[in-house]
């Protein structure tokens, strides 16, 4: 199965990634504080270790990292895999196949996993179902805060965004109904936000605040001080909110980036997003493009890690002599420059999904339903010390040889009269 990977160099085989980070506790909100991993992740193709991989799968959902495990939805199950070797340690079964496109969330030792029409709450330690409930066609990722979960679903011709209580068998706490598709949730402070058509909806002080943005919202991201939105018309939009959830006066701004905008993420007022025109690093404060990578057209949604400097990982399709392939890139963002490093190549990463553990190991699901685990090759301190000792020994030996040679040469000199 590993033949689907084609090496970029003779020494390295693979690495690939797409949107979505994961921590030991993955709350699931699209927000800066929850979508940035501080661990040391692979960034140089010379130092990539392929740790393990699963076989191709018919129905495979979005992997989630949890402590030293990977929670892998597949068919009508969630498998609890060892992070280090990928071996199955436990399994829980559902009455329906898992969602392939929408991710679950983890909080307080509980996994909240979407299937196609239902939500299941799972005790991760025991790998047993705590409660479940059928809602309708699940259409967004899940987010969790305390005992409350937030997500969108389709009920007949209507779309609904729901808050449900895990402690009460997923009983509905509140719900927003609309004729427009809703986005996955984000959070600013105590406010829950989501998009619905051309409106940003804010749940604040037990009421809904509707903020028109004049463009259909496909994805949202909550920065520290503003909400950023990928829109159907190819624009990135930014909106600041007052404490009551209403639009701050004259705060809506736009930036055209091209069609097919991905889900977006950001850190320190830098926003990262892909489109049909390339991959962009945007100054979110002034809504200006800092850097555009033209070669990364139709790239995947990015993920950010900061263990080896601020890096945004994305994958983009390319046409090669051996067929269409995807390349993974690590984009380093510094005060001086933004640079993209090609890391690896894979046959197909369409609709790929990714998780990143707190240890820095990356897990990603490709278009074949395989899950790969990769990590940065760690430097062996013992080997380094041994090499230094050997170098010193060689240096001393050379000095002794030179000294002996010089002494013998001096002895061979004729006496001076």
Q: List the CATH number of the domain containing 314.
A: 2.130.10.10
- Asked if residue 338 and residue 396 are part of one domain, the reply reads no
| Beta strands 143-145; 137-138: pairing state | unpaired
pLDDT at 45: 85
Partners of 338 in beta bridges: 333
Between CA 338 and CA 70 the distance in angstroms is 32
Cβ-based neighbours of 32, under 8 Å, separated by 6 or more: 221, 222, 223, 224, 265, 266, 267
- Asked if residue 298 and residue 401 are part of one domain, the reply reads no
- Asked if residue 273 and residue 221 are part of one domain, the reply reads yes
> What's the DSSP call for residue 150?
E
- Asked if residue 230 and residue 267 are part of one domain, the reply reads yes
- Count of domains for the chain: 2
The token pair at 366 is 């490709």
Between CA 118 and CA 77 the distance in angstroms is 13
Between CA 407 and CA 171 the distance in angstroms is 92
- Asked if residue 340 and residue 394 are part of one domain, the reply reads no
Answer yes or no: are the C-beta atoms of 113 and 127 closer than 8 Å.
no
Closest CA to 73 of 105, 100, 106: 100
- Asked if residue 97 and residue 116 are part of one domain, the reply reads yes
- Asked if residue 161 and residue 94 are part of one domain, the reply reads yes
Between CA 161 and CA 177 the distance in angstroms is 7
Sequential pLDDT tens for the chain (417 residues):
333 333 333 233 233 333 333 343 568 999 887 778 888 898 888 888 889 999 998 899 999 999 999 999 999 999 999 999 999 999 999 999 999 999 999 998 999 999 999 999 999 999 999 999 999 999 999 999 999 999 999 999 999 999 999 999 999 999 999 999 999 999 998 999 999 999 999 999 999 999 999 999 999 999 988 999 999 999 999 999 999 999 999 999 999 999 999 999 999 999 999 999 999 999 999 999 999 999 999 999 999 999 889 999 899 998 776 667 888 899 999 999 999 998 877 778 888 888 888 888 989 899 999 998 988 887 655 555 666 777 777 877 877 777 777 666 666 666 554
> What's the DSSP call for residue 230?
E
- Asked if residue 395 and residue 284 are part of one domain, the reply reads no
Cβ-based neighbours of 89, under 8 Å, separated by 6 or more: 69, 80, 81, 82
Answer yes or no: are the C-beta atoms of 318 and 294 closer than 8 Å.
no
pLDDT at 253: 96
- Asked if residue 169 and residue 123 are part of one domain, the reply reads yes
- Asked if residue 410 and residue 370 are part of one domain, the reply reads no
- Asked if residue 398 and residue 258 are part of one domain, the reply reads no
Please state the φ and ψ torsions of residue 34, each to the nearest 5 degrees.
Answer: -115, 0
3-state DSSP helix/strand/coil percent for the chain, to nearest 5? 10, 50, 40
Answer yes or no: are the C-beta atoms of 356 and 369 closer than 8 Å.
no
The token pair at 203 is 């749940």
| DSSP three-state, residue 96 | coil
Between CA 387 and CA 378 the distance in angstroms is 16
pLDDT at 59: 93
Classify 35 in phi/psi space as left (phi over 0), alpha (psi -120 to 50) or beta.
alpha
- Asked if residue 98 and residue 59 are part of one domain, the reply reads yes
Closest CA to 355 of 89, 71, 1: 71
* Structural domain containing residue 409: 382-417
The token pair at 219 is 């994805």
Between CA 175 and CA 392 the distance in angstroms is 71
């Amino acid at each position: 199965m590993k033949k689907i990977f084609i090496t970029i160099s003779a020494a390295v085989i693979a690495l690939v990634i797409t949107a979505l980070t994961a921590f030991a506790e993955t709350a699931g909100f699209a927000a800066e504080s929850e979508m940035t991993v501080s661990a040391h992740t692979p960034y140089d193709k010379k130092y990539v270790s392929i740790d393990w991989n699963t076989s191709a799968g018919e129905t495979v959902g979005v992997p989630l990292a949890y402590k030293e495990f990977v929670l892998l939805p597949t068919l009508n199950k969630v498998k609890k895999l060892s992070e280090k070797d990928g071996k199955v340690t436990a399994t829980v079964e559902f009455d329906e196949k898992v969602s392939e496109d929408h991710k679950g969330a983890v909080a307080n030792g509980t996994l909240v996993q979407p299937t196609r029409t239902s939500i299941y709450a799972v005790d991760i330690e025991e790998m047993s179902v705590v409660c479940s409930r059928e809602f309708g066609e699940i259409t967004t990722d899940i987010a969790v805060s305390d005992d409350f979960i937030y997500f969108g679903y389709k009920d007949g011709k209507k779309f609904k965004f729901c808050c449900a209580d895990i402690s009460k068998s997923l009983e509905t706490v509140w719900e927003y109904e609309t004729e427009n598709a809703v986005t996955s949730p984000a959070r600013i402070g105590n406010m829950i936000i989501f998009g619905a058509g051309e409106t940003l909806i804010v749940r604040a002080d037990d009421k809904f605040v509707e903020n028109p943005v004049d463009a259909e919202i496909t994805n949202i991201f909550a920065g520290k001080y503003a909400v950023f939105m990928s829109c159907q018309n190819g624009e990135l939009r930014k909106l600041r909110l007052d404490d009551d959830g209403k639009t701050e006066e004259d705060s809506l701004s736009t930036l055209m980036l091209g069609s097919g905008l991905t889900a977006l993420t950001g850190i320190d007022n830098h926003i990262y997003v892909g489109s049909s025109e390339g991959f962009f690093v945007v100054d979110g404060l002034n809504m200006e493009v800092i850097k555009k990578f033209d070669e990364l057209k139709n790239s995947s949604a990015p993920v950010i890690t900061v263990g080896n400097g601020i890096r945004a990982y994305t994958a983009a399709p390319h046409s090669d002599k051996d067929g269409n392939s995807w390349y993974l890139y690590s984009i380093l963002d510094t005060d001086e420059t933004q640079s993209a490093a090609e890391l690896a190549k894979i046959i197909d990463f369409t609709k790929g999904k990714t998780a990143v553990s707190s240890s820095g190991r990356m897990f990603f699901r490709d278009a074949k339903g395989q899950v790969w685990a990769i990590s940065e090759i760690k430097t062996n301190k013992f080997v380094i010390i041994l090499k230094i000792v050997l170098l010193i020994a060689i240096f001393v030996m050379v000095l002794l040889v030179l000294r002996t040679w010089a002494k013998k040469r001096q002895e061979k000199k004729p006496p001076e009269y």
